[in-house]
Amino acid sequence: MDWLPDDPRTCLRLADAVVTLHFCVVAFIVGGELAILAGGPWRWEWVRRRWFRLLHLGLMVLVAVQSVFGVLCPLTTLENELRWRAGQPLEQASFIGRWLHELLFVDVEPATLAWCYCGFGVLVLCSLFLVPVRWRRERSPSAR
């Protein structure tokens, strides 16, 4: 990763930004699924939007496939590289960096995580049928 900066302070800031982005991706996947499941019965139209559902499904499939094949998430790899370049072990990360890292990374076997990710992926797939995607825009009465 020769394109990364050499300045330790910049690397630390970028590492914290990467772990924050990683947390946001996880929050989008988990929170998005909760919103979809709640939004179906409550008739929230935004949970049926094509772009939202395709992004949500795509991210979940990516996570599940990576875990099945034992591929480390690119965000994890990038964060680790940045912390290494800065010469900072995780224990010395900023408060936010440590806190988000503790939320994201649980100490379980990779196979267990793969099963959990795949199970959640099945739930995401099932929600496509439980709360169907709106593939076409509905025409307004004045457009007819």
CA–CA gap between residue 31 and residue 16 (Å, rounded): 22
CA–CA gap between residue 78 and residue 140 (Å, rounded): 46
Q: Please indicate, yes or no, whether the overall pTM of this predicted structure exceeds 0.85.
A: yes
Close Cβ partners of 70 (under 8 Å, ≥ 6 residues apart): 110
- The pLDDT tens digits for 93-125 are 888 888 998 999 999 999 999 999 999 999 999
> Is the CB of residue 104 less than 8 Å from the CB of residue 79?
no
Best CA proximity match to 94, nearest among 14, 4, 5 = 14
- The pLDDT tens digits for 40-58 are 999 999 999 999 999 999 9
pLDDT of residue 88: 85
Q: What DSSP element (H or E) covers 2?
A: none
The dihedrals phi and psi of 35, each to the nearest 5 degrees, come to: -65, -40
From the centroid of its chain, how far is CA 92? 25
Q: What is the mean pLDDT of residues 85-92?
A: 85
